Structure 1
Amino acid sequence: MKRRDFLAMASVASAAGAAMWLPAAFVAQGAARVDEPASGAFPDTLGERDYRNLLILVELKGGNDGLNTVIPYADPAYYTLRKNIGIRREQLIQLDGQTALHPALQSLIPLWQARELAIVQGVGYAQPNLSHFRSIEIWDTASRADQYLREGWLSRAFAQRPVPAGFAADGVMIDSVEMGPFANGARTIRLVDPMQFARMSRLVTPVSLHERNPELHHVHDVDRDIVNAAPVIRLATGAHEGQPELKTVFPPGAFGASVRTAMQVLSAGNHAPGLPLAGEGVAAIRLTLNGFDTHQNQSGRHAALLAQLAEGLMSMKAALVEMGRWDHTLVMTYSEFGRRARENPGNGTDHGTVAPHFVAGGRVRGGLHGVPPVLTRLDGNGNLPVGVDFREMYATVLASWWGLDPSIVLRERFASLPLLHV
């Protein structure tokens, strides 16, 4: 494919409104690469806490209602504030004498019982901004509410310690065109619709892992991002020669398909001959589950979203166990904000402040962490106060999971949370 043909194809797809993988985001922006052997082998000096420890972020886009996700059912104020949308006591899943899960999260109970699921309560930031756009920007850049940063927090992490050259990319984003934590620095692949792009660009060919698509040789200097992405596109679509099929069954629906794509990328790299644990893989993956802006008729919609999340996370664990990677993977949810404590007249919830978040993995210290909500201590706007700054969760990833200095990335000092066995 000639470069002008590729650009014409992209233009046509864009004009038609087609969702596709956007390769321009793949170019490294300012982060130096490490000088390593072509085989992708890791230097002996790297210890356990490096990018062989994979991070998977799951964005709950729209602002998840934390009080109906992790429920303070023993607090009488919960049912006073939520007469219509509160989860009935006979339906909820009790975790202890104070706290329960939404019944749609039933699939997560084996993970909870195995002590591989941590729930961090009260997560947010000071002076919260209730605009979707600005608040997710704060989360993605790890900034203060009054601070505007250009780079995503993962981009700054990869600048501090570059991802090894043997990796196919710093990160992969699935089902989102927004760069988020990878903005302005990370070498990232966006897989909005990997199958469509693979068909249109003819990147899916029965070639070995290290063999480039000959049609792309002549655009190497100008479109290096496309060339580098080609192996990952083949991996994601199962076209890698000799690639074993995962036995894990993934749930139906868009989020299940996203999890399946992410696991296929990892599986292909995991089985690449002569490569270490992460293979021609990535350091971080971000998945997006849309639809959490539940201003009206929340109950059924929220239940369906939480069921997708739970089933997707459990299939993710099954695939990672199958690949032998569960102990080297940390899964973390995030969302731009929580919802208001009191239900609104439309049987929904409006933009609020803090929310609980899930952290899962084979080396996670399961259980309840953070600060549980006290519904008699709402602020003047009817919102919960912050108990845990979200950057403490990021500090945990940076220091405890990857062995980086969080103060360099976060530009302030934040303590790690006791979420991991390391």
Structure 2
Amino acid sequence: MPALTRRQLLTAAAIAPFIGTLPRAFARSAPAPRILVLVELNGGNDGLNTVIPYADAHYAAARPTLAIARDRVLQLDERLGLHPALAPLMPLWQAKNLGVALGVGYKPTNRSHFRSIEIWNSASTAEETLQDGWLHRVLTETGIDGTAQSAIEDPAFDAQGIVLGGPEGPLAGSALAPVVMRDPRQLGQAVRLLDGQETPTGNPALAHILTTRARMHGAALDVARRLKEAPPITTTFPKSALGRQFELAADLIAAGVPASFFKLQHSGYDTHAQQAPRHAALLGDLAEALVTFRQAMIEVGAWDRVLVVTYAEFGRRAAENASGGSDHGTAAPHFLLGGRLGGGFYGEQPRLDDLEGGDLTPRLDFRRLYAAVAQGWLGLPPAPGSLGRHAPLPLFG
């Protein structure tokens, strides 16, 4: 058998770490009936220019150049409307497939990108630091009497996660064995490089890589087989980075790859300067990717078992800054999309005449949103202790 070249070994070494867990992640054959897609709006989205309080005179006063003119706002009701770049979402709103959680945040807010996203990812309090993601925590929660409430073996969904953008975040933890997968074709590439090769002697590191090939081989072949056998999706996705992530998620779901959790990332929301054109482009990209993903899920008959939720480390301050942008703030709205949603608004819009040091007052603790997902979507016990016993939002009726 031929020996591996240096380039082949380096390629295999780069790919092996994220597929070492695949035999566990893709061991189950039945497709997941419930799927959660989390989309991180990395950098902190400007909520006031996303879901706009167009009827509030304080909005235009706080943003003399950034405010969206009232006649351009896509009105959702008599108070609030969407940025015009989000026009593709309007049919989803009318079909009650779109929900908007208002004033989402936590107190006291931390304005550090790194610390605040840690809090959102783990569902910790502002005073504690936790390593595991909130999904890992709720899926492995044990009651105060020691009775296990783990949902890992629940046949209603496959408790495994796939990361298509950014770090693991909410999926971090051994329970989900999250798999970082930028491109499933890499799996086959790794197997082809490692398959049938002699194990080199005298190099334990390379030997270890090669000894994983048996486990990797079956998982990679399973993914490749599913993708090959699945009918092609005819929906055309945007060519942006986010569009490609959603397209890959759609392909994996259509192929029946058994994972219930997907994590995506849309970057660029830290809009400190010249925000208007940048933010419009970001929101337009987000809207197009979301509606295209919905169309693809309808095409493959999966929309009723998919829930998409956006999140970010924080919103932006109420007043614009001197650079035509907005600085780190607190509360912001977030979107929920799904075929089983009731749609509409959840929570309460923060008041612009009742700011706290120039910041919006959070009206909806983000852990209530997580609790709604855990209970209403994943079917876990009410008010998980790992989410601070926060009452869930009524997302599903």
TM-score above 0.5: yes
What is the correspondence of 1:155-194 to structure 2 with a 5 Å cutoff?
155-159=136-140, 160-162=150-152, 170-176=160-166, 178-185=167-174, 186-194=176-184
Whole-Å separation in 2 of the counterparts to 1:21 and 1:74: 54
SS at match of 1:293: coil
Whole-Å separation in 2 of the counterparts to 1:97 and 1:284: 36
SS at match of 1:149: coil
Deviation at 1:259, TM superposition (A): 0.8
Q: Does 1:372 align with 2:367?
A: no
Deviation at 1:240, TM superposition (A): 3.5
Q: Does 1:107 align with 2:88?
A: yes
The CA RMSD over aligned residues, in Å, is 3.1
What is the correspondence of 1:212-223 to structure 2 with a 5 Å cutoff?
215=196, 222=212
**Residue identity opposite 1:297 in structure 2:** Q
Q: 1:227 to 1:153 in 2, by over 3 A?
A: farther
SS at match of 1:305: helix
Whole-Å separation in 2 of the counterparts to 1:232 and 1:148: 37
Counterpart contact for 1:391–1:410, Cα < 8 Å: no
Q: Does 1:26 align with 2:21?
A: yes
Residue 418 of structure 1: aligned partner: 394
Residue 383 of structure 1: aligned partner: 359
Q: 1:3 to 1:377 in 2, by over 3 A?
A: farther
Whole-Å separation in 2 of the counterparts to 1:305 and 1:313: 12
Residue 16 of structure 1: aligned partner: none
Residue 130 of structure 1: aligned partner: 111
What is the correspondence of 1:55-70 to structure 2 with a 5 Å cutoff?
55-70=36-51
Q: Is there any run of 5+ residues in structure 1 with no aligned partner, and where? A: 14-19, 43-50, 205-212, 270-279
In structure 2, which of residues 276, 279, 282 is the aligned counterpart of residue 299 of structure 1? 276
In structure 2, which of residues 270, 287, 300 is the aligned counterpart of residue 310 of structure 1? 287
Q: 1:57 to 1:408 in 2, by over 3 A?
A: same
Q: 1:4 to 1:180 in 2, by over 3 A?
A: farther
**Residue identity opposite 2:177 in structure 1:** R
Q: Does 1:94 align with 2:81?
A: no
Deviation at 1:323, TM superposition (A): 1.4
Q: 1:163 to 1:170 in 2, by over 3 A?
A: farther
Deviation at 1:166, TM superposition (A): 11
TM-score (norm 1): 0.80
Deviation at 1:336, TM superposition (A): 0.5
Whole-Å separation in 1 of the counterparts to 2:42 and 2:347: 22
What is the correspondence of 1:16-415 to structure 2 with a 5 Å cutoff?
23=18, 26=21, 40=29, 52-159=33-140, 160-162=150-152, 170-176=160-166, 178-185=167-174, 186-195=176-185, 197-198=186-187, 200-201=189-190, 215=196, 222=212, 226-227=216-217, 229-231=219-221, 234=224, 240-269=227-256, 280-380=257-357, 382-405=358-381, 407-408=383-384, 410-415=386-391
Deviation at 1:233, TM superposition (A): 5.2
Q: Is there any run of 5+ residues in structure 2 with no aligned partner, and where? A: 141-149, 200-208
Residue 206 of structure 2: aligned partner: none
Counterpart contact for 2:103–2:347, Cα < 8 Å: yes
Residue 275 of structure 1: aligned partner: none
Whole-Å separation in 2 of the counterparts to 1:417 and 1:359: 12
Counterpart contact for 1:60–1:334, Cα < 8 Å: yes
Whole-Å separation in 2 of the counterparts to 1:169 and 1:217: 35
Q: 1:130 to 1:140 in 2, by over 3 A?
A: same
Deviation at 1:40, TM superposition (A): 3.6
Deviation at 1:165, TM superposition (A): 8.9
Q: 1:167 to 1:4 in 2, by over 3 A?
A: farther
Whole-Å separation in 1 of the counterparts to 2:367 and 2:198: 43
Counterpart contact for 1:121–1:388, Cα < 8 Å: yes
Q: 1:6 to 1:166 in 2, by over 3 A?
A: farther
| Alpha-carbon displacement from aligned partner over 1:160-187 (angstroms, at most 9, x marks no partner) | 21156998870111122x1211112221
| Alpha-carbon displacement from aligned partner over 1:241-264 (angstroms, at most 9, x marks no partner) | 433111111122111111111100
Deviation at 1:8, TM superposition (A): 2.2
* Paired residue total: 375
Q: Does 1:8 align with 2:3?
A: no
**Residue identity opposite 1:143 in structure 2:** S
User: Which aligned segments of 4 or more residues in structure 1 are displaced greater than 4 angstroms?
Assistant: 1-7, 163-169, 213-221, 406-409
SS at match of 2:308: strand
Deviation at 1:404, TM superposition (A): 0.9
Counterpart contact for 1:21–1:192, Cα < 8 Å: no
SS at match of 1:90: helix
Counterpart contact for 2:236–2:292, Cα < 8 Å: yes
Deviation at 1:403, TM superposition (A): 1.2
TM-score (norm 2): 0.85
